[in-house]
């Protein structure tokens, strides 16, 4: 069963390497029973992929026991996933739904935490009106840097 590991954004490669190092090594008896292809698969480490369109996630086919993950830095959580969920992550099917006039919060970049209103979508960028030091300023940011918020938030 595949697993989705939530990690600190930007630390995916580090976590992947740390998981590979902590994978339990087979005993000598098991090594003698393995054929060459099985040995190659085992020595390659944990089979993790980094989704191309999402930062902060790893998709793993194999996972260490829970006690092996507890002390690894940058891991925020581990969840079992279905193959459809993994396929959606790896192909980027899940898209941000941002529209003109929508209220958004900046989640990354120098404006992180600010709340504004989408003025226009320009390709993969969003033009957002932010209130900065009492003045409305239009900033152009990647669509991945904003998150839609509802009026209840």
- CATH number for position 107: 2.30.30.30
* Beta bridge pairs of residue 121: 126
Query: Is residue 109 in a domain?
Result: yes
Residue 119 CB partners (closer than 8 Å, separation 6+): 100, 127, 128, 129, 138
- Residue that wins the pLDDT comparison between 88 and 145: 145
- Identify whether the C-beta of residue 58 lies closer than 8 Å to the C-beta of residue 67: no
Q: Are residues 80 and 107 in the same domain?
A: no
Query: Is residue 11 in a domain?
Result: yes
Contacts for 98-104: CB closer than 8 Å, 24+ residues apart: 98/126, 98/143, 98/146, 98/148, 102/148, 103/148, 103/149, 103/150, 103/151, 104/128, 104/146, 104/147, 104/148, 104/149
Q: What is the pLDDT of residue 93?
A: 45
pLDDT surpassing 50 at residue 39: no
Residue-number span of the structural domain to which 125 is assigned: 103-148
Q: Are residues 87 and 107 in the same domain?
A: no
- Residue that wins the pLDDT comparison between 34 and 8: 8
Reduced to 3 states, what is the DSSP secondary structure of residue 10?
coil
Q: Are residues 52 and 108 in the same domain?
A: no
Query: Is residue 98 in a domain?
Result: no
Query: Over the stretch 45-78, which tens digit does the pLDDT of each residue have?
Result: 456 776 665 677 788 776 555 556 767 888 888 8
Query: Is residue 131 in a domain?
Result: yes
Q: Are residues 79 and 28 in the same domain?
A: yes
Q: Are residues 84 and 32 in the same domain?
A: yes
| Cα–Cα distance for residue pair 55/53, rounded to 1 Å | 7
Q: How many domains are there within the chain?
A: 2
- Residue that wins the pLDDT comparison between 50 and 93: 50
Q: Are residues 87 and 108 in the same domain?
A: no
Query: Is residue 153 in a domain?
Result: no
Average pLDDT over residues 23-31: 63
Q: What is the number of residues in the chain?
A: 153
- Residue that wins the pLDDT comparison between 62 and 103: 103
pLDDT surpassing 50 at residue 106: yes
Measured from the Cβ of residue 123, the count of other Cβ atoms closer than 10 Å reads 7
Q: Are residues 111 and 131 in the same domain?
A: yes
Choose one of 62, 91, 120: the last residue of a domain: 91
């Amino acid at each position: 069963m595949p697993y989705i590991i939530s990690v600190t954004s930007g630390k995916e490669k580090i976590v992947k390497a740390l998981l590979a190092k902590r994978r339990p090594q087979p005993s000598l008896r098991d090594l003698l029973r393995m054929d060459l292809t099985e040995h190659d698969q085992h020595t390659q480490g944990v089979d993790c992929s980094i989704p191309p369109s999402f930062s902060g996630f790893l998709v793993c086919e194999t996972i260490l026991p829970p006690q092996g993950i507890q002390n690894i830095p940058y891991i925020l959580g581990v969840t079992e996933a279905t193959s459809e969920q993994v396929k959606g992550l790896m192909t980027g099917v899940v898209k941000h739904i941002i529209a003109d006039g929508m209220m958004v919060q900046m989640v990354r970049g120098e404006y992180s935490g600010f709340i504004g209103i989408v003025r226009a979508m320009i390709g993969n960028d969003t033009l957002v009106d932010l209130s900065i030091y009492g003045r409305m300023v239009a900033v152009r940011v990647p669509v991945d840097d904003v998150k839609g918020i509802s009026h209840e938030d």
